[in-house]
Copies of this chain bind each other. A is one copy, B any other.
């Protein structure tokens, strides 16, 4: 037996970020601590794109959608004629990302995320994950999760926290792989959704995806999604952009429970990407970063604080 406990966060360099995480967990889990959190209150919410895996050169779900369009435009001329499809196939991301909620991207999502059953959609995502490779790293997208965040998820789970994904990504897209990749079950995924339609076919019950009642789980939508799906305030919130600003506020400001807000700051252009105010795709980080000191949010410097970026191959 080894009397020295193994380091639960080996991919985190010793420094203020790692120490702050370890100190917070010790403070809220030690019996008798004045800040002890009952198990039921150990709710941690994590953004996905840019927090648990990259969002460059574009959010991975957008890469999925574009690859789907590429495949289909060969045999579907009316699809190929759509200006947003053309923008997608031409790599004109600026055009796709215009508008308050990335309208072009949403149009592409509509063409690739509605009209099929949830089972058909799942199969399409699985087939894509099995074949597609990230343009820079050459690895399957679902192997590109951040190793330090994987360790944090495991560490939180080991300390009685329930991890939830709270992401602008589609719930149906994420649920295909989050259990395998993060150990997070589908019922702990809060994402963007639209309503499905139930139907009993000869083959059995099916749910068909539509775009009705679209809910974009981003920005002020994140606390709304957390309330709707989880029903109580989290005590840990990890994000990386202004899209996570509202849920950082919701988690930490005037929370009667002890709470931790954490921002992954992309500072490592060599191993990953470096951006905050100026982004390649999504992930703009200005307001939340400005508010971090006064709110006590922990800003993780990817370059300084992480000695590894991705899971080992």
Interface residues in chain A, defined as those with a beta carbon under 8 Å from any beta carbon in chain B: 40, 43, 118, 162, 164, 171-172, 175, 179, 185-189, 193, 195-198, 200, 203-205, 207, 213, 215, 220-221, 223-224, 227-232, 246, 249-250, 253-255
> Can you list 16 pairs linking A and B with CB atoms under 8 Å apart?
A40-B185, A175-B231, A186-B231, A187-B231, A189-B231, A198-B223, A198-B224, A198-B246, A200-B246, A200-B253, A203-B254, A204-B254, A205-B246, A205-B249, A207-B224, A213-B215
| Least distance between A122 CB and chain B CB atoms (Å) | 10
Nearest B residue to A213 via CB reads B213
Q: Which of B189, B205, B213 contacts A223 (CB 8 A)?
A: B205
Known: A40-B179, A198-B223, A200-B249. A205 touches B254 (CB 8 A): yes
Q: For the complex, what is the distance from the CA of A249 to the CA of B205, rounded to whole Å? A: 7
Known: A215-B213, A220-B198. A228 touches B193 (CB 8 A): yes
Known: A197-B224, A213-B213, A227-B207. A186 touches B253 (CB 8 A): no
Q: For the complex, what is the distance from the CA of A40 to the CA of B232, rounded to whole Å? A: 23
Q: For the complex, what is the distance from the CA of A172 to the CA of B229, rounded to whole Å? A: 10
Chain copies in the assembly?
A: 2
B196 touches A253 (CB 8 A): no
Q: Which of B193, B196, B221, B231 contacts A171 (CB 8 A)?
A: B231
Known: A205-B223, A213-B213, A223-B205. A230 touches B187 (CB 8 A): yes
Q: For the complex, what is the distance from the CA of A43 to the CA of B179, rounded to whole Å? A: 15
A229 touches B187 (CB 8 A): yes
| Least distance between A210 CB and chain B CB atoms (Å) | 10
Q: Which residues of B contact A200 (CB under 8 A)?
A: 246, 249, 253
Q: Which residues of B contact A220 (CB under 8 A)?
A: 197-198
Most B-side CB within 10 Å, residue of A40, A223, A228, A249: A228
Q: Which residues of B contact A221 (CB under 8 A)?
A: 198
Q: Which residues of B contact A255 (CB under 8 A)?
A: 204
Q: Which residues of B contact A43 (CB under 8 A)?
A: 187
Q: For the complex, what is the distance from the CA of A185 to the CA of B205, rounded to whole Å? A: 28
B193 touches A253 (CB 8 A): no
Q: For the complex, what is the distance from the CA of A221 to the CA of B195, rounded to whole Å? A: 9
Q: Which residues of B contact A171 (CB under 8 A)?
A: 228, 231
Nearest B residue to A222 via CB reads B198
| Least distance between A98 CB and chain B CB atoms (Å) | 25
Q: Which residues of B contact A188 (CB under 8 A)?
A: 187
| Least distance between A247 CB and chain B CB atoms (Å) | 9
Q: For the complex, what is the distance from the CA of A204 to the CA of B248, rounded to whole Å? A: 12
Q: Which residues of B contact A196 (CB under 8 A)?
A: 224, 227-228
Q: Which of B175, B205, B215, B254 contacts A253 (CB 8 A)?
A: B205
Q: Which residues of B contact A189 (CB under 8 A)?
A: 231
